[in-house]
Amino acid sequence: MLIKIIKVPIGSAPKWVRQNWIGVELTVSLMPADAIKHDFITEKILRKKGGYKVERRHALDALAKKSIPATEWYMRHLPKYADFLCFETDEVKVLPPMNAIARHLD
């Protein structure tokens, strides 16, 4: 599934870092409705209502195409155990399947 970030994601990363996600397209997996998401800095539970997850490496590769400084911030601050980054349903737009196919042909 392909999504496009359309809203500044929640979290404790600095706002300038989170703002760089807007416009980034990611191939993601749907999270279960009962999935527990934690803020990687504060360890607080963010929400338990599903959303989308993307592998850390893929997320940072996509972000690097837009902002090297934001990517470097995540590389310095994301704990090693954080295998996935998560986005809320209201932070993204799900793109039609044809966009995903075209993206893989590039």
With a cut of 80, say whether residue 84 has pLDDT above it.
Answer: yes
Among 21-25, 41-45, 63-67, 87-91, whose mean pLDDT is lowest? 41-45
Number of domains within the chain: 1
Mean pLDDT across the chain: 87
Residue-by-residue DSSP string for 60-98: HHHHHTT-HHHHHHHHHHS-TT--EEEE-GGGEEEPPHH
75/80 Cα distance (integer angstroms): 9
With a cut of 70, say whether residue 48 has pLDDT above it.
Answer: no
Confidence of residue 92 (pLDDT cuts 50, 70, 90): very high
Instruction: Determine the structural domain holding residue 65 and report its residue range.
Output: 2-105
pLDDT given at position 97: 83
The helix (H) or strand (E) run that includes residue 51 is: strand 51-55
Confidence of residue 105 (pLDDT cuts 50, 70, 90): low
pTM of the model: 0.83
Residue 105 amino acid letter: L
